[in-house]
A and B are shown apart, each in its own frame.
Chain A
Amino acid sequence: MEKELWKGNEAIAEAAIRAGCKYFFGYPITPQTEVPEYLSLHLPEIGGCFLQAESEVAAINMVYGAGGCGVRVMTSSSSPGISLKQEGITYLCGSEVPCVIINVMRGGPGLGTIQPAQGDYYQATRGGGNGDYRTPVLAPANVQEAADFVRMAFDIADIYRNPVMVLADGMIGQMMEAVEWHDIEKRELPAKPWATTGTQGKREHNVINSLYIQPEPCAEHNEKLEKKYKLIEEKETRYEEIDAEGCEVLFTAYGTTSRVCRAAMKLLADEGIKAGLFRPITVWPFPYAQLKKAAAQNSVKAVVVAELSLGQMIDDVKIALEGSKPISFIGKAGGLVPTPREVADAAKKAIGR
């Protein structure tokens, strides 16, 4: 299959079209703006609709309306804009409306910077909106994965009736890499009898809603959602291990940072240190058991967590390891990316070399 050179954000947008998404509602923000720009040109060509909303709050609520009608719909933004979408995300989860949300993360807090960061990990995996809810989060490490994960995200959203987030960062959004538009795994998708398509006088009315005013039904609703989240944990947890077998240092990193770790692994190999990588692909559900198993090898002296933040995913690593191995951290926040040398040195320090 032919490879094509694609900019990350444009590949994300094209992947949505290839997934059968005809509707997009968004608001400009760097470094994700090429997503709406691309779709503003190409969605009308396929009889779809691109609409620039007045804010991220409005955009996510438009997504809520559209998704409730049963169509595939997407929105994208970057960190401050994702903060504004939190209200909509909790409503989407509470009402079980499928959609895809892209976050091309930048530095924070507040307006921060437009450079790449991974400071929205807590928000993405714990939820920045109110209530007990979960959104599956896929974290691509390159443009090919961004293109693949967007298409996978639409399927996961439809199968579980839940919003799904693709968590990229400014590096992946802005860089150009080779992309192959290969087929992704074909999954069986459920019908959407719940969608508000008009009763046509043939059925009871459908209601898209997250209000359960009495505590018992609300508790029941929460338990039903929890069952779904457990099923997602069981079926959709994804991760990758690279050279992890018999390694002395086990890096744990996702997205852009995992690539810095891979470069650091080469530097360490030159110095006779065997380092491996455990890369969560879904950061929710987090591959706790799989990470614990990889770290449990006798050869592993330390687990080194690398992030473009001051340490957020490290909490999940701690939960996974339950104190079984020493954990150390290397990270930068605010738009800087640690160099392979810095990451390699952090690893050496962790094992006392």
Chain B
Amino acid sequence: MAIVYQKSKGLTDKELHYCPGCTHGIVHKLVAETLEELGIIGTTIGVAPVGCSVFAYDYFSCDMHGAAHGRAPAVATGIKRVSPPGTTVFTYQGDGDLAAIGTAEIVQAAMRGEKITVIFINNAIYGMTGGQMAPTTLIGQKTTTSPLGRTKEHAGMPIKMCELLSTLDGCVYAERVCVTDIPNLNKAKKAIRKAFELQQQNAGLTFVEVLAACPTNWGKPPIKAVEWLKENMIPYYPLGVYKDSAEVK
């Protein structure tokens, strides 16, 4: 019998712990498939964050590090700088991890043009700790620490990481995608693949931001969460390529 679909070899057999409708699992699959398609599972080292995807080190079948909250780009820097040429290194980080506590690490890694790929999951909230405000939380969005909705006066405007990092020379590729439907999922897969391919060419830091749903902490059923993402997140965080300064050879 012909096999029409099977789980990527880039994933282990560990059961994912994510909530129904969570984007993390979908993005894991895209990253794992990419590693498999490029034939680099055996030469890749990934770095898991602190956040809902903290157990990513159990899910990817390549060698993995867990990092302290926000420090994944520094850990990845250490790995990349001492590993043999041809080693692929990626971080997988949430928005609290990357855009709050780890802002210095991601900006400086991008400035240095570290040859790493960063997969950034922007769900506009702190998932793991139960729905607190993130730097990416939208104006008016209610969270457990912005119970009346985020205001610009109090917390400033949400941070746009693709836009910010694309100003840095060392960041050679930055694209914002979502995985709310099949066409967007295919685009996201292409972006992730390109990010890894550019790393293989030592181009610089490559960055893929995925707009993600957190139905649990948004207090919405999965389908409503996707609708909310489309209606509220995409207008503020427009999809598209923000930086593409290196050519895929």
Contacts and interface: CB of A to CB of B under 8 A. Distances in A.
Interface of A: 22-23, 25, 49, 51, 53-55, 57-59, 61-69, 71, 73, 87-88, 91, 95, 196-202, 205-211
Interface of B: 12, 41-45, 47, 54-55, 57-58, 60-68, 71, 74-83, 87, 104-105, 108
B79 A205 contact: no
A198 B63 CA distance: 6
A207 B58 contact: yes
A199 B66 contact: no
A205 B71 contact: no
Nearest to B72: A61
B105 A61 contact: yes
Given A58-B105, A199-B42, A66 B82 contact: yes
Contacts of B54: 211
Contacts of A198: 42-45, 62-63, 83, 87
Contacts of A71: 82
A206 B81 CA distance: 19
B105 A208 contact: no
Given A49-B81, A198-B45, A205 B105 contact: no
Given A54-B108, A196-B63, A207 B57 contact: yes
Contact of B45 (A22, A88, A196, A202): A196
Nearest to A99: B78
B42 A210 contact: no
Contact of A65 (B42, B60, B74): B74
A202 B64 CA distance: 15
B71 A66 contact: no
A95 to B, nearest CB: 7
14 contacts: A23-B78, A53-B74, A54-B105, A57-B104, A58-B104, A61-B105, A65-B65, A65-B79, A66-B82, A87-B71, A88-B68, A202-B42, A205-B61, A211-B66
Nearest to A196: B63
A195 to B, nearest CB: 8
B200 to A, nearest CB: 14
Given A196-B45, A198-B44, A205-B60, A61 B79 contact: no
Nearest to A23: B82
Contact of B63 (A57, A67, A207): A207
A259 B187 CA distance: 68
B77 A62 contact: yes
Contact of A73 (B60, B64, B82): B82
A57 B69 CA distance: 11
A64 B63 contact: no
Contact of B78 (A55, A61, A206, A209): A61
Nearest to A50: B81
Nearest to B80: A65
Given A64-B75, A199-B62, A200-B42, 20 more contacts: A22-B82, A49-B81, A59-B74, A64-B67, A64-B78, A65-B74, A65-B77, A69-B78, A69-B79, A69-B83, A73-B82, A91-B67, A91-B68, A197-B83, A198-B42, A205-B61, A206-B64, A207-B57, A207-B64, A209-B65
Residue from the set A205, A207, A210 with the largest chain B CB neighbour count within 10 Å = A205
Nearest to B112: A51
Nearest to A208: B65
B77 A208 contact: no
Contacts of A64: 65, 67, 71, 75, 78
A65 to B, nearest CB: 3
Contacts of B47: 65
A65 B44 CA distance: 13
A64 B66 CA distance: 10
Instruction: Pick the most buried of B41, B74, B108: most chain A CB atoms within 10 A of its CB.
Output: B74
> Which of B42, B54, B64, B75 has the largest number of chain A CB atoms within 10 A?
B75
A210 B77 CA distance: 19
A197 B63 contact: yes
A210 B69 CA distance: 12
Given A53-B74, A61-B78, A65-B74, A200 B43 contact: yes
Contact of A62 (B43, B45, B60, B74): B74
B104 A205 contact: no
Contacts of B67: 61, 64-65, 91
Contacts of B83: 69, 197-198
Given A54-B108, A58-B71, A199 B78 contact: no
Contacts of A207: 57-58, 63-66
Nearest to A67: B78
A206 B65 CA distance: 8
A25 B246 CA distance: 28
B104 A199 contact: no
A182 B97 CA distance: 47
B12 A205 contact: yes
Given A57-B71, A87-B68, A65 B78 contact: yes
Given A71-B82, A88-B68, A202-B42, A58 B108 contact: yes
B104 A55 contact: yes
Contacts of B108: 53-54, 58
B162 to A, nearest CB: 21
A66 B78 contact: yes
Contacts of A208: 64-66
A202 B61 CA distance: 12
Nearest to A209: B66
